[in-house]
Structure 1
């Protein structure tokens, strides 16, 4: 019962709007139901000899939230998460935000997220592959470091409780992307792995994906990726061409960096990119996240595929609630 005693110490930092959405959209009805759901989930994990995972309240809660408190859904996502991390160690093993190679990718501005919320409580995540030229990738230590940084970044964003409830918008700025850079970075195998991680493994609620400044070969590349994208996600894709005016119709200016705003705009913003990146790296390298991601990637956790063979395939359903004394 030590875990249950530790659960009492968990204090949610959801704001009132997020609490309301959690009740209405995620079936997170109240603190008591939430605690029972986490304890039910944990009991199932401890009964599975092939999964090694953290079982603290906050970690398990994000998997329940992303699957709207379905026990079966949370189990599937957690198992997918550790299957991805175990089967692709070059992306997920020994992750340190202070690693020089990871720092090179972060400093490039390839992935970035201002710690601000729009009127729907969502955060904006930037994906800018045009920032990665061959020299940057080489200085970082190779393609594996790029994907290690991406996946670490996803874990970082998902530690934000309000984002676990409200989700994110992705702004894919494809400016300066060349066909050679795409084919080098996004091989068929890399694309398949990353799409699986985004859609099936990461506890992320991706609400919209916005493409800006799509290159002339975008349609051809997208046609190759399309079979990997679930219909629900396809319905959330927006193509804006080179029109920031169209972007402003979907993404509120107050969460955009200064560099993406009109010259005559005087309202609130996310500030300059350089500060956003500095703040992001500062938070990632603080012990709260740095120690967490190092432990998560230490090899202590994962899937034992040999032991998994003795189990009956996919996670099975059980009662949503478990009465715990």
Structure 2
């Protein structure tokens, strides 16, 4: 078996991967090869099979081969079915760059507590709802996430803690987030991406956003519902989970700045230009899928009540 083309982990990350992700270093090559062989045997699936890509899915699934197979299948199935939501083939797409330049999503340079989950900051409402659709937003976020899935070992091993600032959100932004679009995004995030969401903290919540949260929460798994925190305008509650020093300068912290995060993302997109172009050749063909075709209506059926959520 040829030598693996993967990044070596630091000693601390490797220890965490062994303890938390069930990684057995001596068996990684065989696990990757088993996943690659499975992909090659699927008549309906055209997927990347390079070592680092497959290893990200294995780590994201705690080395459960069956879960990794399911995530890779859904990763490409949902992209093929809903390319307007989940697929970027051109990093120079005007709306993608414009949305990134608004600071809609940045990853902070220092992980939580120095060696922990990667911290992401999502700022809702940075863009005009008249000029950008929820599909534009979802596609942009997915492109950023794919890059970090491939190259951020802290995000893959320790997971991601997300801060969602909704201070700039308006009724127009809220209206874009239909139950259908929210369901697509939550299913893709939980069932197709190889990230483990450690926590999601909503801050600067204006009145009127209860409807959004009440639609969102039932769509999440029970595990993710428990990891969702609403802090209203009480940032001291956020500091109990993320100390101030780990927030960006715009929030009074020491962990880089939104502007620096934007510049970094633009550089990464430039570096991944050819990678995203080749994404066009990957996907699924449902008529070739062995067994029963996927029932998308069942997958994206939206249920849930509009119960009042507690905001601390």
Q: What TM-score, normalized by structure 2, do the two folds share?
A: 0.88
Tell me if 1:176 matches 2:157: no
Q: 1:106 deviation in Å?
A: 0.3
Q: 1:73 deviation in Å?
A: 0.6
Q: 1:313 deviation in Å?
A: 6.9
Misfit runs of 4+, over 6 Å: none
C-alpha offsets along residues 140-163 of structure 1, whole Å, 9 cap, x if unaligned? 5x4432221011111122121231
Corresponding residue number in structure 2 for 1:134: 129
Within the candidate set 199, 203, 214, 2:194 is matched to: 203
Corresponding residue number in structure 2 for 1:295: 278
Q: Which has the higher contact order (CA 8 A, sep 6+)?
A: 1
The whole-number CA distance in structure 1 between the counterparts of 2:20 and 2:87 is 34
The whole-number CA distance in structure 2 between the counterparts of 1:85 and 1:152 is 12
* Alignment RMSD: 1.8
The whole-number CA distance in structure 1 between the counterparts of 2:169 and 2:228 is 19
Corresponding residue number in structure 1 for 2:309: none
**Alpha carbons of structure 1 residues 183 and 114: separation in structure 2 relative to 1, 3 Å:** same
Contact map agreement 2:161 2:199 (CA 8 A) in 1: yes
Contact map agreement 1:51 1:304 (CA 8 A) in 2: yes
The whole-number CA distance in structure 2 between the counterparts of 1:178 and 1:79 is 36
Q: Secondary structure at the match of 1:279?
A: helix
Corresponding residue number in structure 2 for 1:10: 5
C-alpha offsets along residues 121-173 of structure 1, whole Å, 9 cap, x if unaligned? 211111111212235xx1x5x44322210111111221212311111101000
Larger deviation, residues 20-29 vs 215-224: 215-224
Q: What TM-score, normalized by structure 1, do the two folds share?
A: 0.84
Tell me if 1:59 matches 2:39: no
Corresponding residue number in structure 1 for 2:228: 237
Tell me if 1:307 matches 2:298: no
Within the candidate set 14, 18, 34, 1:19 is matched to: 14
Tell me if 1:101 matches 2:86: no
Tell me if 1:35 matches 2:29: yes
C-alpha offsets along residues 42-89 of structure 1, whole Å, 9 cap, x if unaligned? 111111111110111111111111111111111111111111101012
The whole-number CA distance in structure 2 between the counterparts of 1:281 and 1:183 is 29
Mapping 1:66-77, distance limit 5 Å: 66-77=60-71
Contact map agreement 1:95 1:152 (CA 8 A) in 2: no
Unmatched runs of 5 consecutive residues or more in structure 1: 263-268, 315-325
